[in-house]
Amino acid sequence: MGTESKDIPCKILGIGSHVPSNIIDNNKLSERVDTSDEWITTRTGIKQRCFANEEEATSDLAFMAAQNALDDAKISPNDIDLIIVATITPDMAFPSTACLIQHKLGIPKVTSFDVEAACSGFLYALDIADGMLKSGRYNRALVVGAEKLSSIMDWADRTTCVLFGDGAGAVILSREGDGPRLIGFNCGADGSNPSLLHQPAGGSLMPASEKSIAARGHFLKMNGKEIFKSAVRVMEAAATDLLISHGLSAKDVDHVIPHQANARIVESLSLRLEIPLEKFFCNLDRYGNTSAASIPLALDEAKKASLFKPGQLGLMVAFGAGLTWSSVLVRF
Ligand code: COA
């Protein structure tokens, strides 16, 4: 549940993002899959997505986003003493993607680990980083959400492969300095129905085998209708509980940066929260669902568009496989 930040809030010193240059629009996609621009647009709002090349991995996207965030914060990698990467598509099962980008950034010894909370992963990682910084044992955190979802998409399943894209976003978080302040967190999960959205094979339950490959178990599988309903319900609750716990209401919110899964989910959330759709920042038409990357990618674009004014209140809210959910309040 949400907790009030009694101590000095952590600030976002810089934001950065990166998407691969290979843009695939719906028409191009329908050359490969039995679908159409009309179906994808009306069901999801997605018009195009970016896919990484075969030789590009999640850590490459994460590294680029991290560099951009460091540039934005005007600090050097050596100023970082904590790296957390949220991803469900790490380069490999282990070591973590955070360790891989630590090496790419040239900052040995820095505490580095991954967080796996699917599409809520970035907000989970912010919550964890915030707590570690406030413990006083760390000064500056690099928090990344990065995915190469094209590596787990099943091209034989048109109900899922049209939804996702690749990308990365990152923030630099610190107790010192100036920037938007993170003032409240609310993370939760319900593990009672994991198969609603999962990648069944490749772990200890179903290790890679001829059987797991024949079952297409290494690809993402989803019950779209159930996920849709759960998404709206849990995001509404995550947002409302957090606002109430801070003595705030929907009327106080100036900007919502939702997880970018589906325009219809965002519209339903807007209705249920009674926050006008104009206050929701959406870029899912250009990137599709990039899971843990979706919120930092949106945050970066909204910031670059000078959307946030000093003193305004932002609400970031996400849901994902697990089911997981998370909401974070930010005072610009
Ligand atoms: N192109 C064309 N037709 C498609 C299609 C595609 N890509 N995918 C499915 N269809 C067809 C189905 O075969 C079905 O045809 P039928 O009626 O002849 O059987 C029809 O479209 C409706 O399929 P359905 O699955 O009922 O569509 P839907 O309206 O529920 O929309 C989703 C499907 C996936 C867009 C929707 O359920 C959704 O967005 N769910 C949430 C997914 C999500 O956000 N996941 C990420 C969580 S982080």
- In this structure, the residue with its CA closest to atom 35 of ligand 1 is 43
* pLDDT tens-place string over residues 109-168: 999 999 999 999 999 999 999 999 999 999 999 999 999 999 999 999 999 999 999 999
- In this structure, the residue with its CA closest to atom 9 of ligand 1 is 159
* Ligand 1 pocket residue status of 43, Cβ below 6 Å: yes
Half-sphere exposure of 41 (CA within 13 A, CB side): 9
Amino acid at 178: D
pLDDT of residue 8: 87
Give me the mean pLDDT over the 89-106 stretch: 98
Report the C-alpha gap between 311 and 307 in whole angstroms.
Answer: 12
| Catalytic annotation, residues | 119, 259, 289
pTM more than 0.85: yes
pLDDT of residue 81: 97
Distance 43 CA to ligand 1 centre (A): 7
Per residue, what are the HEC states of the chain? CCEECCCCCCEEEEEEEECCCEEEEHHHHCCCCCCCHHHHHHHHCCCEEEECCCCCCHHHHHHHHHHHHHHHHCCCHHHCCEEEEECCCCCCCCCCHHHHHHHHHCCCCCEEEEECCHHHHHHHHHHHHHHHHHCCCCCEEEEEEEEEHHHCCCCCCCCCCCCECEEEEEEEEECCCCCCEEEEEEEEECCCCHHHEECCCCCCCCCCCHHHHHCCCCCCEECHHHHHHHHHHHHHHHHHHHHHHCCCCHHHCCEEEECCCCHHHHHHHHHHHCCCHHHECCCHHHHCECHHHHHHHHHHHHHHCCCCCCCCEEEEEEEECCCEEEEEEEEC
Tell me the best of 24, 32, 36, 43 to mutate to test the pocket of ligand 1, counting ligand atoms within 8 Å of each CB and taking the most: 43
- In this structure, the residue with its CA closest to atom 37 of ligand 1 is 224
* pLDDT tens-place string over residues 234-276: 999 999 999 999 999 999 999 999 999 999 999 999 999 999 9
Ligand 1 atom with minimal separation from the 119 CA: 48
Q: What are the structural domains of the chain? A: 2-179 (3.40.47.10), 183-331 (3.40.47.10)
User: At residue 4, does pLDDT exceed 90?
Assistant: no
